[in-house]
Amino acid sequence: MSFSAERTAARQTSILRRLLGLATTRTGVLALTMAGNLVVRTGSSMLLTRLLTPYDFGIVGIITTVFFAVAMITDLGFEAFLIRHERTEDRHFRDVIWTIHAKRGFALFVGVAIASPAIAWAFGKPVVTVPLAVASLIFLINGLASLSLMTALRRDKARELSVLDFGLQIFQTLTCLSLALWWRNAWSIIAAMLLQSALRALLSYRLFADSTQRPARDRSVSREFLAFSRVILMSSMLTLLIGQSDKLVLGRLFTLDQFGLYAIALTIASAPTGFAEAYVRRIVFPVYAQTWRQVPSELPLVYYSVRRLPSALYAFGCGGLIGGAPLLVALLYDPRYASVATFISLLMIGSALRLSNIAASELLTATGEMTRMLRITVVRVIWLAVAIPAGFFMVGPIGVVAAVGLMEVPAMLYSWLLLGRVRVLDLRQELLLLALVATGAAIGFLGGTEVLRLFPRL
C-alpha cells in the first residue's frame, strides 16, 4: 500500500472513530434515538393512513388534546423538584413524592372517566365518550410508575432514558399496526397507548437501581413540594393555553376528518420539538444548573457552546421541513392528505424557533429567575389571545393555524430581551440560527418543487 493510500485509510479510520465517539455521547444517543423515533413515527403514520381513516385520527386527536390539557392543569413539577432537591437520594423522601404522584394519577383517571360524556359534548363529538373513558386508564398506570424515570437524570442516565423511549416507541408502533390490521379503527391506537404505558411502568422498576417504591407520608416534605409546585402549576396552566388553544378551537370548527388531517400535521411538526425539549431538559439544563452553582461567570460562554452544533443542525433541518412539506406529504401519503402540507409548513415555523426559546427558559430556571421565565410564557399567551381571533376573522381556520405557527416569534424576541438583561445574549449567534432556518426553507422549497415537477405522479 502506498504512503498516500495509508494516509487516506488512517484519515477515514480517524473520522469513523470520531463519529462513533459522538454517537455514544449523551447528545449523540439522544439525537440518534430521536431520529429513530421520527423515522418510526413517520413510517407508522404512512401505514396507519392506509389502514385507518381521518375520522379515526380525529377521535385520537381529541383524546390526546384532552390528555394534554388535564396533564398540564395538574402538572406539579415532579421531575424538576427531584432533580434539584438535595434530599432526592433519601428513600423516604422519594416515597413521599411517589405517593403524591400515585394519588394524582388515580384522581385523574377517575375524573376524566366520569367527565368523558361532558367533555365529548363540549367538543360536539359524542362518539368520543367511551374511547376517552377507556384511554383515561393511562393516567392511573403512569401514576404508579417508579420515580426512577425522573431521578435517572441526576445519575447521568440520559442515554439509557433515550434508548428506553425509543424502544417503547417501537413497541407501541408495532402493537398499533398489528391491531390496526385486525380492528381497522381508532381502538387500535388507544390499545397500543395503554399497552405502552403499562410496559413503561413495569420497566421503570426493572431497569434502574433503587427503583422500588412504597406508600409514605410526611407533612413537611409534602408542604415543601406543594410550595414549589405553585410556580410550576402556574407555568403549566399558561402552557396549556398555549399548547391547546388551537386544538380546542379547531376541534370545534373542523369536522373529524379535517381535525384528523390537522392531527397528522401536528404529529410531524411536533417531532423536532420533542427532540428540542428532551435535549435541552435532559442534557443542556443540568449543565446550566451546574455552571450556575459552580462558576456563574462562565454562563454566557456555556449558554451557546454547550448546544452550538445541535442548534445549528436543528435550525437547518426545521427550515427544510418548512419549505419541503409538500414533497414530504406527497411521498408519505395519498392525495386525500394533500392539505396536511400547508399545516406542516405553518406549524414548523414555531418548531424551528423552539429549541432556542426552551434553552432561554431553562437558563432562567437554572439561575432562579422563575418570574422572568414565566413571562416568556405570558408573552405566548398574549400573542395567541390576539392572533387567534384576528387570524380566524381574516382568513378562517387556517388563520388559527398561522397564529400558532408564528407564536414563537414574539417569545423569541422577548427571550432576547431577558437574555440581554442577564448579560448572556449573543445576537450574532441568534441571527445565525435564523439564517440557517431561512436557508433550509429555501433549499427545501426549491428542491421539493423541482422533484414534484419532475415526478408529478408523486
C-beta of residue 173 within 8 angstroms of C-beta of residue 44? yes
What's the grid cell of residue 346?
405553518
- pTM assigned to the model: 0.66
Sign of CA dihedral 16, 21, 23, 27: negative
**Cβ-Cβ contacts under 8 Å for 35 (sequence gap 6 or more):** none
Cell 407564536 appears where?
Answer: 407
**pLDDT score of 22:** 47
The backbone region for 124, taken as left when phi is positive above 0, alpha when psi lies in -120 to 50, beta otherwise, is left
Distance (Å) of CA 279 to CA 20, 104, 412: 19, 27, 18
Q: Which three cell numbers stand for residue 440?
A: 433550509
Residue with cell 399496526: 177
How far is the first Cα of the chain from the last one, in angstroms, to the nearest whole number? Answer: 48
Supply the Cα-derived Rg of the chain in whole angstroms. Answer: 23
The per-residue pLDDT for 34 is 67
Backbone angles phi, psi at 13, to 5 degrees: -65, -40
- Tell me how far the alpha carbon of residue 394 is from its chain's centroid: 30
Task: For residue 11, give the C-alpha cell.
Answer: 484519515
Contact 329, 341 (CB under 8 A): yes
Spatial contact of 354 and 273, defined as CB atoms under 8 Å apart: yes
Per-residue pLDDT 10s for the chain (458 aa) are 454 545 444 444 544 454 445 455 666 677 677 677 767 777 777 788 788 888 888 888 888 888 877 877 777 777 767 776 667 778 888 888 889 889 989 999 999 999 999 988 888 888 889 999 999 999 999 988 888 877 776 666 767 777 888 888 889 889 999 998 988 888 999 999 999 999 999 988 888 777 788 888 888 888 878 877 776 666 666 666 666 666 667 766 777 777 778 888 888 888 888 878 888 887 888 788 778 777 888 888 889 988 888 899 999 999 999 999 999 888 888 777 788 888 899 999 999 999 999 999 888 877 877 778 778 888 988 898 898 889 888 888 788 889 889 999 999 999 999 999 888 999 999 999 999 999 999 999 999 888 888 877 66
Written as nine digits, the cell of 184 is 381497522
> Residue 353: phi, psi to the nearest 5?
-95, -5
